[in-house]
Structure 1
Amino acid sequence: MNWKNCIWGGALSVLLFSCGTRQEINYMKDIENLALDNSVKNSRSTLQPGDQLLITVSAKDMDVVKPFNQTYSSATTITQYSTPSSNNLPQQVPVSGPTYNVDTDGDIVFPQIGKVNTKNENIETFRLKLTDLIREYVKDPVVDVKLINFRVSVLGEVTRPGTYLVPDGNATLLSALGLAGDLTSYGVRTNVLVVRNVDGQFTKERIDLTSAQFINSPYYYLKQNDIIYVQPNANREKAARVDPNTGLYISVASVIASLAIGILALTKN
């Protein structure tokens, strides 16, 4: 009888040990109760030193705008990352045209115009600013500005941690997590850390993905070189401290226990 109690007790202990606590895995449970109007103001990231801009100028008479398109002309290739729902490998997207690097003072040097400052400008406001400057030389110019080196890093408990390039320069916290294949079952969804460097100043914010309130956070729309870290839950940390051979030890112990029970049964007979 004592042996039976030990066996049942051991089985119950294994069952309880193997079952982790139930994790809250739903995102934005209260989204239907939240007004999202305030998030619009944060939807566009301001340009930062180190940004690489592809700028093209066009007009009805393309010969007139040639002087604005001939400097820093280059042909490069960037990587467009596929979404986790796709089985396709990342695609190589060619990008060609005049490119400009934003220097440490926030300036680019544009042909015919000279230095143009990007500080406190996002892609759209800078495009309008540049259009106004070119309009002094060209009638009805059409200016296109793209940020081609927008990167974010996603680390911790995600399926594919790494640094991701977002060619359109428009990324949200959720889209970045999507690029990384979403959180694993061990990721803490109520405490996702976003670290940001703006003009040399580091700031951070902890985000609760289970509440729609984070959409109104200035950290919902990501900025250049943001770092997202997903913390592991207690089960993952506990597993990390366990000897990797623990499973083998348990298997061997189970075999030995079975043999012992069998031998005892034979000796009683």
Structure 2
Amino acid sequence: MILKKYFVYAALSLTVFSCTAKQEISYMKDIESVALENSIINSRSTLQPGDQMIITVTAKDMDVVKPFNQNYSSTATVAQYSAAAGNAQFQQVPSSGPTYTVDLDNNIIFPQIGKINTKNENVESFRLKVADLISSYVKNPIVDIKLINFKVSVLGEVNKPGTYVIPDGNSTILGALGMAGDLTAFGLRNNVLIVRTVDGQMTKDRIDLTSAQFINSPYYYLKQNDIIYVQPNSNREKSARIDPNIGLYISVASVIASITLGILAFTRN
């Protein structure tokens, strides 16, 4: 009877600890209680100096829009991401068209129009701006814009650290962590650092992935050249401080001790 009682206690304890461990590594435990409306405000990244765009203009009469499709570039290579077998993979896909680079003054030089300022514009708002300017010359122009060098870096305790190119220029911190293979078991999920540079100003913030509140953060939607750093937990830091050769030292000490004991035993005899 006593043995049965202890068995029940042990089972209950195991259940409690299992639930606690699962709770600590879960993302967004309180997502149902968080309003998502505010996140839309931050969902679009503004264009920054150095951004490269392919801008193409089409219309019913393609001859009319030819002057706006000058500065035709050689074929550019864009990374397209797709999920396969649970892993984030990517393949290089050629994409060609007139390529424009945003200069240090946030301008591009566009055929027939001249300078067009991109400051405080995202891809969609800038597309509408270019279409409106071209509409002074062409009726109902269709403008398509693609970012070809939007990238973020994911470092620290993730399975695939590195720099990732995002073709559509629209990604969240969860999307980037997914491309990096998710956090390792040693990554701190409640203290993820985001470093961002906008208009030459560097800012940073720390995100708690275990709370759904972070989806309302301005750092939830990523910007050009964002850096995500996942800090290691205390267990990883302790293991990093241990000399990797400690096993070798113990083995050598054991051999020396064995030889010494053998010599002492021999001399006594």
Query: Which one-letter code corresponds to 1:246 in the other structure?
Result: I
- 1: CA distance between counterparts of 2:30 and 2:86? 29
| Residue 191 of structure 2 is aligned to residue 191 of structure 1 | yes
Structure 1 counterpart of 2:222:
222
- Report how far residue 157 of structure 1 moved: 0.3
Whether the aligned pair in 1 keeps the contact of 2:131 and 2:143 (CA below 8 Å) is yes
**Matches of 2:228 and 2:164 in 1, distance apart?**
11
- SS of alignment partner, residue 41 of structure 2: helix
Q: In 1, distance between residues paired with 2:254 and 2:220?
A: 50
Q: Which residue is equivalent to 2:32?
A: 32
Q: Equivalent residue for 1:50?
A: 50
Per-residue displacement from partner, 1:102-160 (whole Å, max 9, x unpaired)? 00000000000000000000011100110100000000000011111001000000001
Kindly provide the CA deviation profile for residues 49-104 of structure 1, in whole angstroms up to 9, marking residues without a partner as x.
Answer: 00001100000011100111122433111223444755585311111001100000
Is residue 109 of structure 2 the alignment partner of residue 109 of structure 1? Answer: yes
What residue number does 1:267 align with?
none
- CA separation in 2, counterparts of 1:152 and 1:66? 34
The equivalent of 1:200 in structure 2 is 200
Counterpart CA distance in 2 for 1:186 and 1:84 is 25
Is 1:213 matched up with 2:225? no
- Structure 2 residue runs of 5 or longer lacking an equivalent are 1-19, 258-269
For 1:81-120, list aligned pairs within 5 A.
81-83=81-83, 85-86=85-86, 90-120=90-120
Pair 1:136-2:136 in alignment: yes
Mapped partners of 2:223, 2:87: distance in 1: 27
Deviant stretches of 4+, over 2 Å: 78-90, 245-257
Cα distance in 1 for partners of 2:238, 2:53 equals: 46
In 2, Cα distance between the equivalents of 1:114 and 1:227?
34
For residues 85 and 224 of structure 1, the distance between their equivalents in structure 2, rounded to whole angstroms, comes to 28
Kept in 2: contact 1:84–1:178 (CA 8 A): no
**CA-atom RMSD in angstroms:** 2.5
Number of aligned pairs?
240
Matched residues in 1 for 2:254 and 2:235: separation? 23
Q: What is the TM-score with the length of structure 2 in the denominator?
A: 0.83
Same amino acid, percent of matched pairs: 75
Q: 71-80 or 193-202: which moved more?
A: 71-80
Supply the distance in 1 between the matched residues of 2:148 and 2:244 (Cα, whole angstroms): 43
The DSSP-based 3-state class of the residue aligned with 2:191 is: strand
- SS of residue in 1 equivalent to 2:115: strand
Find the residue that maps to 1:63 and give its secondary structure. Answer: coil
- Once residues 239 and 54 of structure 2 are traced to their aligned partners in structure 1, the CA distance between those partners, rounded to angstroms, is 47
Structure 1 stretches of 5 or more lacking a match? 1-20, 258-269
The SS at the match of 1:90 is strand
- 1:125–1:87 Cα change, 3 Å: closer
Any conservation in 2 of the 1:84–1:179 contact (CA below 8 Å)? no
1: distance between equivalents of 2:246 and 2:163?
34
User: 1:191 touches 1:207 (CA, 8 Å); kept in 2?
Assistant: yes
